[in-house]
Amino acid sequence: MISLIGDVGVVNGVPQIHAHGAVGFPDGQVHGGHILEAIVWPTLELFFTAYRTPLIKTRDAETNLFLFDLKERKDGSK
């Protein structure tokens, strides 16, 4: 694992991980993209940054993607 970056957002009230990564191979090749599942051996250290306000994602009608709604709050207020 060369790089791992992403976020944990709340989608429809449930935490959802969105992660991108890059892995290196003995021959020097590097492959990257969305991490859907991975097994790391012998260890991997992850550091999280916690925010006081939950990072809530809502569906964007134009792209049909769940994107951060920085105005939305957990209690539903704006």
Question: Please, are residues 45 and 25 in contact by the beta-carbon 8 Å criterion?
Answer: no
Q: Is residue 61 part of a domain?
A: yes
pLDDT on residue 10: 93
Backbone angles phi, psi at 29, to 5 degrees: -70, 150
Q: Is residue 47 part of a domain?
A: yes
Q: Which domain holds residue 56?
A: 3-25+32-68
Question: Please, are residues 21 and 35 in contact by the beta-carbon 8 Å criterion?
Answer: yes
Q: Is residue 76 part of a domain?
A: no
pLDDT tens digits along 34-53 = 999 999 889 999 999 988 88
Mean pLDDT lowest among 27-31, 42-46, 53-57: 53-57
Q: Is residue 77 part of a domain?
A: no
Q: Is residue 9 part of a domain?
A: yes
Structural domain total, the chain: 1
What letter does residue 21 receive in the DSSP assignment? E
Q: Is residue 59 part of a domain?
A: yes
Q: Is residue 78 part of a domain?
A: no
pLDDT on residue 21: 96
pLDDT on residue 43: 92
